Amino acid sequence: MPIPESTRANRAGAARRQSLASPSRTFGRWQLDEPLGRGRLGCVYAARPCGTGNATPASYAVKVLRDEWQGEATLVGLLAREALVGSEVCSPHLVSVLEARVHEAPQFLVMPRLDGTTLQSQLSEGYRPTVCEALWIARQTAEALDSLHQTGWLHGDVKPGNLMVSPEGHVTLIDLGFARRPVEFGSVIDRPLLGTVHYLAPEQITSTSVDIRADIYSLGATLLEMLTGHVPYQADDLMELARRQRANDVIDLQKVGPNIPPPVRDLIGAMISRHPLRRHQTPRELVDRLVPLEITSLAAA
């Protein structure tokens, strides 16, 4: 008796879902190992080249769209953008993409496996960096932004959840799906929002004219959170954030960070200004300001 087409499709879908969840699955020339993380949109697995044997360290990471999102145009577009930027821009502080398959299911990316955890995970577990440590993290992130800027990109989603910090303190900026050329960056309303909105620069909400200074704002918000546990504007959603930003209802830096050295407080204030012209204009300018502050804080530690 022939199997109905709908039954065959259901069985094929179930088999594909099972295979995606199985660590034994091979993706192209990559053998998956244990899962490294699972999000709402994708899963990341440790991986090694096929045929090298289990004794070979799984020193690569394969990022796969979850089954329910395979083929979804917007999310495949984010994966494709990440593949493009990760293969085009080279920096020791920016994740690189070694291989990608985005034009047919299952869509995936291959990247070097990174040691450590996200800054967000560390902050959630109670870690509070010293001034020296926070400046070190910020300066490394600014180096990654400089590499993006030098090749005509901005990251578009700088936040603690996108900063991987190794046990030795090395920082890698990850998740390049929202990277854009300034000329093609629309309002944040035109893109899918994932997670918190607290790190968005005002112009990302209200304007279609966005450049690298929006990333500098987001890094400033991250630096502020590292040192105080607070973000620039307290808001539960995008509309409330936009209202507070328009009213300039920004957090009082001196009140929440009385122990932060005044030069560092001034730096953060400039980075999170709601006016892009009052911020550092390029990541290189920011790096040049961060380096002496980092040295001074190290000497004082």
The set of catalytic residues is: 157
- Does residue 26 sit in helix, strand or coil? strand
Spatial neighbors of 242 by CB under 8 A, at least 6 apart, are: 202, 205, 206
- Does residue 38 sit in helix, strand or coil? strand
Residue labelled with tokens 């990174």: 114
- Does residue 30 sit in helix, strand or coil? strand
Residue labelled with tokens 């800027």: 149
**C-beta of residue 281 within 8 angstroms of C-beta of residue 146:** no
C-alpha radius of gyration, the chain, whole number: 21
